[in-house]
Amino acid sequence: MASNSTIAELLAIMARLRDPERGCPWDIEQDFRSIAPYTIEEAYEVADAIDRGALGELREELGDLLLQVVFHARMAEEQGAFDFSDVVAAICDKMIRRHPHVFGEAKVENAAAQTEAWERMKSAERGAADPSALAGIPRGLPEWMRALKLQKRAARVGFDWPGPAEVLAKLDEEIAELRVEIDAGAAADKLEDELGDVLFVACNLARKLDLDPSAALRRANAKFERRFRHMEALAARSGRSLDVAMPLAEQDALWNIARRADHRGELAAAPSSQAPES
């Protein structure tokens, strides 16, 4: 049901929560660093609701994400750095500046041309402080996302594989190198280095297939959870529990039953995770 709530009301609520004398002790003691993980988590909750087509939940998750923006803006206002209106003004200015084909006289042929124009404008805005093609990629991004951005930037100057077949060959090569180090009993840092190469190339493969590696992994996670929960249910029906006391061969047999049921579309989606209270 629609309400008459406004951004002004939300800003007032956050100000009250942060009030040193009348506010919430938890909210008062937070800072940018402590809140940042919640901001990232709420963004993932939004993506999860979208992925499941849960529009009712999406409304709630977008509200939680908006609260994170308001929280950060309030803390900045308390320090005299900027406030929420400055955040809004900055993004409005940026959107108008980066869409001259909408708000000006420029012309673009299609979405791909607009993406190229957008990236050129971003590069120009970064200036000459760092002339590298890789300049400006945040180090705080999830590493899979940073890998994709690094690869896309390199591809713009022609440093790229021709297609997925070549990336698959490179992936085979990197897996073989990891296997050699495992067989040799290599130290953890060497294994981490080789595993990192495998994951980096896997991200590159997703890019060449025009797939989102996060979405692919989210789908794999959901599939594993569906099947594992079904394994637990099958074990419970026979009066047993799925634990280390059950031989691996029996667990594999349950997995195969769950996998076949999943292929037939008989398994329900696992319950959605619940975000922490805001």
Rounded-to-integer distance, Cα 23 and Cα 19, Å: 4
| 221, two tokens | 């996670």
Rounded (10°) CA dihedral 142, 144, 146, 150 = 180
Helix orientation angle between 213-237 and 248-263, rounded to the nearest 10 degrees? 120
Contact (CB, 8 A) for 217 and 203: no
Identify the architecture of domain 128-208 in CATH: Orthogonal Bundle (1.10)
| pLDDT digits 0-9 by tens, 88-135 | 999 999 999 989 888 988 888 888 778 777 777 777 766 656 778 888
Higher pLDDT, 76 or 2: 76
Residue ranges covered by each domain of the chain: 7-96, 128-208, 213-263
Contact (CB, 8 A) for 84 and 73: yes
| pLDDT digits 0-9 by tens, 238-277 | 999 999 999 999 999 999 999 999 999 999 877 765 444 4
Q: What is the CA radius of gyration of the chain?
A: 24
Rounded-to-integer distance, Cα 82 and Cα 72, Å: 10
Query: What is the pTM assigned to this prediction?
Result: 0.65
Could you tell me the CA-to-CA distances from 44 to 10, 37, 106, 138, 219 in Å, in that order? 22, 11, 35, 18, 14
| 265, two tokens | 């579309």
Domains 7-96 and 128-208 share a fold: yes
Computed over every residue of the chain, the mean pLDDT equals: 90
Annotation: CATH topology of 7-96:
Helix Hairpins (1.10.287)
pLDDT value of position 249: 96
Rounded-to-integer distance, Cα 20 and Cα 89, Å: 28
Supply angle C-alpha 49, 14, 274, rounded to 5. Answer: 25
| pLDDT digits 0-9 by tens, 185-226 | 999 999 999 999 999 999 999 999 999 998 899 899 999 999
Contact (CB, 8 A) for 39 and 72: yes
Report how many helices (DSSP H) and strands (DSSP E) the chain contains, helices first: 12, 0
